[in-house]
Amino acid sequence: MYRSKLRVLTVFMFCLFFLGLTSVVKAEELRIFSGAGLMKPMEELRQNFEKKNNVTISVHYGSSGEIFGMMSMGQTCDVFIPGAEKYTNDAVKNGWLYKPSIIKIVKHIPVIVVPAGNPLNIKSLDDLARPGLKVALCDPKSAAIGKVSKKLLGKCKLWDKVEPNVVVFAPTCNQLLIYTALDQADATINWLDVTTWAEGKGKVQTVKIDPARNMIKTIPTALHISAKDNPLAVKLNDYIASSEGMVVWEKWGFEPCTR
C-alpha cells in the first residue's frame, strides 16, 4: 500500500516537473527599449505580436537619451526603437545594434502645440519669442523632441530669444502634452503624432511649422547585436515595420517614411 502511494506520488511529481519544464520552454520573453512618445502604437503592436506568437514582451519606455544610456551601461534589449534616427546611428557606431537590421518606419514631425482655440493667436516659431509668453519644451539633453526643438530654434536664430520664455523643460513628450492640455503653457514644440492622443483631444491644437524651417525626423527599428540570431526577435523587428504594423502606426497619427 505504501509503495503504491509512493509510486503515485512520484508520478505526480514527475508530471508537475514536466509541466513546469514545458511552461519554461514556452515562456520565451523579448525585451524592447522604446521612446516614450511611441507608447501608444508600440503597446498595440506588442499585444498583437504576443497573441500571434505565444511570447511575452516587456517594454521599457523612456526618453531617447534614457534608453540610449541604458545600453551604454550594459543593459540589453532585443529591439531598440528611439524617437529619432540619431540615437540608432550612434548605437551602431558603439557596436550595440546590428546595422543590417535597421528599418526606417515612420516620420516624426515637429509642430507647435497650443491650447484649444489658440487664444494667443500663435502662427509661427517667431511668436514663441514674444515677451512674457509661457513656453514649455522637452529637455534637449534627454528627449529627441527636446534636442530637435533647440536645433530648430537655433537654426532660425530664435533660441536666445525663446529660451527666456521657457517655464519648464519636460523629460518626455508625453508630459509636454499634459502641460499644454492643462493650460500650464501657452505653447510647446512637440511631435504631431502625440497630439492625437486622448490626453490632448479637444484640449490642444497644432500650428504647422514652415517646411523650409522644420526638421522632420525618422523613426527606425533595429535589433540589438545580441539578438541578431534570435528568430523571434528578428520576426518582431520585421513586424513593427510590416504593412500590418504600418496600419497601427498610421492609426496613431504617424506618416510612413515611404510616403
Domains of the chain: 30-107+219-256 (3.40.190.10), 110-207 (3.40.190.10)
- Round to whole Å and give the CA distance between 162 and 153: 8
- What is the reported pLDDT for 196? 87
- What is the reported pLDDT for 22? 43
Known binding residue 64? Answer is: yes
Whether the Cβ atoms of residue 47 and residue 59 lie closer than 8 Å to each other: no
- Round to whole Å and give the CA distance between 77 and 101: 14
Q: HEC profile for 111-167? A: EEEEECCCCCCCCCHHHHHCCCCCEEEECCCCCHHHHHHHHHHHHCCCHHHHHHHEE
**Which residue would you say has higher pLDDT here, 200 or 136?**
136
Q: What is the widest separation between alpha-carbon atoms in the chain?
A: 92
- What is the reported pLDDT for 11? 45
pTM: 0.77
| Residue pLDDT, tens place only, 86-104 | 999 999 999 999 999 999 9
Q: Are strands 29-35 and 56-62 parallel, antiparallel or unpaired?
A: parallel
- What is the reported pLDDT for 259? 60
